[in-house]
Amino acid sequence: MEFWLRIDDGKLAGISFITDGCGSSLACGSMATVLAAGRTIEEALILEKDEILEALGGLPPEVEHCAELAANTVQAACWDYFSSLDRPAGKNGNGEMSKRREGESEEQYLERLQLTSRLGCIRNKIVVLSGKGGVGKSTVAVNIAVSLLSAGKKVGLLDVDIHGPSIPTMLGLEKESIIGSSEGMLPVEQDGLKVMSLGFLLESQDDAVIWRGPRKTGVIKQFLKDVAWGDLDYLIIDSPPGTGDEPLSVCQLIDDLTGAVVVTTPQKVAAVDVRKSISFCRELKIPVIGVIENMSGFVCPGCGQVTRILRSGGGRMVADGMDVPFLGEIPMDPGIAEASDLGRAFVKHLGQGPALEKMKMISEVLLNLDIETKDQGAL
Ligand code: ADP
């Protein structure tokens, strides 16, 4: 049995087949073409034997294998198409096909496959998490992304912090809105950095508060699926804070996250939140790249000395206690807030002193991660 596909705009605009098998094989092949026509490639990839059998009203058990052959051959034709494009479909960054998870409905699996195909050309996907808002998660995400870009990497920055998508403001992109294309929504480009934020969809920042519960996760899902990133070395994802439904949707939908960076502040009370974030990653099997303790000490604008104004060491203590890497302490530096208010990334504008040094060191860790990923891929 062989199938030929005509693909138009990611969908099976035409499908035909030949078989030199028996009448059942003819019936199954023909039903497979009917069922697959008009589907997206990802949808055609999950065409199953049972679906064909059901549509045919059943077949004698001794010829049921014809339905399996038809389903498998349609899938193989779809894979051939993707290999010819060199665009991985339903495959994660390691080239593995995403499998259906236990308890996952077909619809959920399909959703995840579509997303995996979307993000398949991105080598490293790093989510930035925090136990609560206001600890500098978005600031870290922006500065990491811009540092990686300065190191010559192709970088995307995705802001899915539905509570306060602040990245457009931090990069001076508040007036930008989303441009659609046949491939999906196009990220806004700034000096080579590809940026996509839920903020671009909102008339005003206050609009986020009208989304509630399931509506919020629906918006996040839709948004993740619809962005056309193209090839990237890194995608930095600014997640909603906490460990609730919203960060959960982000982390569950992207099933091959390279890892998570957890941002916290130095006080002891923040330790509870950072522990929760690490446990959250462990439950979801997301590698913890490391913990960053932000606003750790204060950089005097006059002499550049770091003074400990709050109790410090909370982030390191938790990282050590839970056996995850500690990436460093970023001090409180008025230049960071000022750069952000000016719509610029600190590492490129106003950046100097200990805060800049620490941000550079953290980016080095992420750059090495890419080398390790590549090495693993070469094995
Ligand atoms: P979150 O994303 O966790 O809600 P933000 O990144 O939006 O937090 O940071 C909250 C505020 O704190 C912003 O005004 C930001 O400029 C400021 N900020 C973050 N980190 C620092 C720092 N190390 N020094 C000075 N200001 C900082």
Question: Which residue, 242, 194, 248, 241, is CA-closest to 220?
Answer: 248
Instruction: Give the per-residue pLDDT at 297.
Output: 80
Atom of ligand 1 nearest to the CA of 296: 23
* pLDDT at res. 379: 38
Low-confidence ranges of the chain (pLDDT < 70): 82-98, 203-215, 310-312, 371-379
Residue owning tokens 């259906």: 100
Residues with C-beta less than 6 Å from any ligand 1 atom: 130, 133-139, 166, 294-295, 330, 332-333, 336-337, 340
* Ligand 1 midpoint to CA 296 (Å): 12
- Which atom, in ligand 1's list, is nearest to the CA of 339? 16
Which atom number of ligand 1 is nearest to the Cα of residue 299? 24
Nearest CA to ligand 1 atom 20: 136
Ligand 1 atom 12: the closest Cα is on which residue? 136
- Ligand 1 geometric centre to CA of 180 (Å): 31
Nearest-atom index, ligand 1, CA of 333: 24
pLDDT of residue 152: 95
Q: What is the 127 CA–ligand 1 centroid distance (Å)?
A: 17
Lookup: tokens for 365: 């860790």
Residue in 128, 340, 356 to alter for ligand 1 test, most ligand atoms within 8 A of Cβ: 340
CA 351 to ligand 1 center in whole angstroms: 15
Predicted local confidence at residue 29, as pLDDT: 94
Closest by CA position to 250, among listed 283, 273, 211, 224: 224
Check residue 130 and give its pLDDT. Answer: 95
pLDDT at 156: 96
| pLDDT at site 378 | 42
- Ligand 1 centroid–CA 135 distance in Å is 6
Tell me which residue has its CA closest to atom 8 in ligand 1: 136
Phi, psi of 9 (to 5 degrees): 55, 40
Q: Provide the pLDDT for residue 376.
A: 54
Q: pLDDT at position 300, please? A: 80
Q: What is the pTM of this model?
A: 0.77
Helix axis angle for 49-56 and 23-36, nearest 10°, is 110
The per-residue pLDDT for 42 is 80
Q: What pLDDT sits at residue 212?
A: 60
Compute, in angstroms, the gap from residue 170 CA to the centroid of ligand 1. 10
Give me ligand 1 centre to Cα 161, in Å: 14
Written as one letter, the residue type at 13 is: A
Q: What ranges make up the beta strands (E) of the chain?
A: 2-8, 11-18, 122-130, 155-159, 179-181, 184-186, 188-190, 193-197, 232-238, 259-264, 288-299, 306-307, 326-332
Q: What pLDDT does residue 326 have?
A: 96
C-alpha 337 to ligand 1 mean position (Å): 6
133 CA closest ligand 1 atom index? 4
Dump pLDDT digits (tens) for 143-194.
Answer: 999 999 999 999 999 998 877 789 999 999 988 888 877 777 899 999 999 9
Distance 134 CA to ligand 1 centre (A): 6
Give bridge partners of residue 184 from the DSSP assignment.
Answer: 181
* pLDDT, position 116: 79
